[in-house]
Structure 1
Amino acid sequence: MYDPTVARLTYRALLGRRRALILGILPALLIVISVLVRALSGTDDQTASDLLGGFGLATMVPIIGVIAGTGAIGPEIDDGSVVYLLAKPVKRPTIILTKLFVAIAVTMAFSALPMMISGLILNGNGQQVAVAYTVAALVASIAYAAMFLLLGTVSRHAVIFGLVYALVWEALFGSLVSGARTLSVQQWALAVAKKVTDSDLVTSDVSLTTGTVLLVVVTVATTWYAGQKLRALTLAGEE
């Protein structure tokens, strides 16, 4: 369920000069802030956890997911070039899965790697904080890429809606409002990260089982629905 040609075209679209620059802004900012914090306050496990969780996982990862997930298919639908892709002898589920794999890979590369680097800068992976948040970024990348890939197939304003979700729901409500935390990818990923470290520096409002199940369900459901929307788009074009 993977097509190299579709993958190559998607990578080219996502990693073009302009989009790659946008993708790199937040990771670079996280690393710069980490260097400054380490220089000014020294090594502190709680500070490392607060920065990696509050900025890295709550803001950087979902925004990168928005850019990669919507960018994997949204622009092709908007400008109509998706018609040429759909005309190729490639099964529709293969197209969606290939684009999802690419979106996941890009999201992981631009979120998990900077997370690890920042964690090592901040406290040298003391109490496994760097590894824990890197794992959180990896698992969150999968769900975000799937969610925003679906958003890219159903809306011409996918980036706007995605940013609203990332900045309002995940970064604001997902961090401050207890009821919203249960329905937050951030909290699901934190449940997985908490398993990595035995300290109380990483906390989650959901259990490991609940977080894992919800991550899988959301990823599978949104990917399946994105495939259905793409199938419907194909039929409309053929009629």
Structure 2
Amino acid sequence: MNPTVARLTLRGLLGRRRGALLLVVPALLLLVSALASGSSGDGHDLTVKILGQLGLGTLVPILGLVVGTGVIATEIDDGSIVYLLAKPLPRWEIVTTKLFVAIGTTWVFAAVPTMLAGLMLYGTKDGVTLGYTVAALVAGAAYSAIFLLLGVVTRHAVVVGLGYALVWESLVGNFVAGARTLSVQQWARSVAETVAGDTAIGADVSFGVAVPLLLVVTVAATVLAAVRLAGLTLAGED
């Protein structure tokens, strides 16, 4: 990890309009949770619904999209990436540094609000809050890698990523049984179920399948992004 690249990436990420966007969805989750915490009824089911659908299903992928594309796609679009690529730095180091920044930022703006929302809604009972917090952490890392890769391979990363997050993760991954095996959200739910216990949170993908897939997707996306970035450098030198 390169500290200079990390500092510049974080400054660029939080200094643009993305900095404000990062606060909108977490604030919505916390507002909904605060209003729902005083309602009567089954607190467990309400917590699972809010943290599962609004938190893990909406907050985490949207923030992963904003942050994952924001750490590199903007620099590629405006051409400023050439100044970074001109430095004597391995391309994999640039990618991994930007990924670390993306993951850390996503954790701060997604996993932390998820934990706070869970505590407001249900406290620490049944391990539900802990389960969804851990799920937000692992999903945030995977989404960051996926969307960083999109930021390198296409100039329409935000549009493509938004389509993926809304269509595949939110619709297909939730309502088409066969597609759930290929959904980051469902893999994260499996982790949440394991942490909280089988009776607290339901998941359609086994833990033994979910964890390897999360690791493979995160690592593969990172490697592909580094290879693609190296290709861009060679093309520029030609």
TM class by shorter chain equals over 0.9
1:192-231 to structure 2, matched below 5 A, reads: 192-231=191-230
Deviation sequence 1:146-166 (CA, Å, 0-9, x none): 000000001111011111111
Q: Which runs of 5+ in 1 are unaligned?
A: none
| C-alpha separation in 2, matches of 1:88 and 1:154 | 21
**Worse-matched range after superposition: 69-78 or 188-197:** 188-197
**1:14 Cα offset (Å):** 1.2
Residue identity opposite 2:203 in structure 1: S
Secondary structure of 1:135's counterpart equals helix
CA contact (8 A) 1:92 1:230 kept: yes
Residue identity opposite 1:207 in structure 2: S
Deviation sequence 1:17-41 (CA, Å, 0-9, x none): 5211101101100000001111233
Match of 2:169?
170
Q: Does 1:88 align with 2:87?
A: yes
Q: Does 1:189 align with 2:188?
A: yes
**Worse-matched range after superposition: 80-89 or 32-41:** 32-41
Deviation sequence 1:203-227 (CA, Å, 0-9, x none): 2211111100000000111110000
Q: Does 1:5 align with 2:4?
A: yes
Match of 1:60?
59
Residue identity opposite 1:170 in structure 2: E
Runs ≥4 residues deviating over 3 A? none
Residue identity opposite 1:224 in structure 2: V
Deviation sequence 1:81-134 (CA, Å, 0-9, x none): 000000011111100000000000011111100000000000112211111000
Match of 1:47?
46
Compute the TM-score of the two structures, normalised by the length of structure 1.
0.97
**Worse-matched range after superposition: 114-123 or 39-48:** 39-48
| C-alpha separation in 1, matches of 2:20 and 2:147 | 20
CA contact (8 A) 1:43 1:122 kept: no
| C-alpha separation in 2, matches of 1:50 and 1:146 | 26
1:51-130 to structure 2, matched below 5 A, reads: 51-130=50-129
| C-alpha separation in 2, matches of 1:182 and 1:63 | 20
Match of 2:37?
38
**1:43 Cα offset (Å):** 6.3
Q: Percent identity?
A: 56
| C-alpha separation in 2, matches of 1:17 and 1:151 | 20
Deviation sequence 1:173-226 (CA, Å, 0-9, x none): 211111111100011111111111124231221111110000000011111000
**Worse-matched range after superposition: 148-157 or 189-198:** 189-198
Match of 1:180?
179
| C-alpha separation in 2, matches of 1:115 and 1:173 | 23
Q: Which runs of 5+ in 2 are unaligned?
A: none
| C-alpha separation in 2, matches of 1:208 and 1:19 | 34
| C-alpha separation in 1, matches of 2:198 and 2:215 | 26
Name the CA shift for 1:93/1:14 in 2 (closer, same or farther; >3 Å).
same
| C-alpha separation in 2, matches of 1:117 and 1:153 | 33
**Worse-matched range after superposition: 115-124 or 191-200:** 191-200
Compute the TM-score of the two structures, normalised by the length of structure 2.
0.97
| C-alpha separation in 2, matches of 1:124 and 1:6 | 39
Q: Does 1:155 align with 2:154?
A: yes
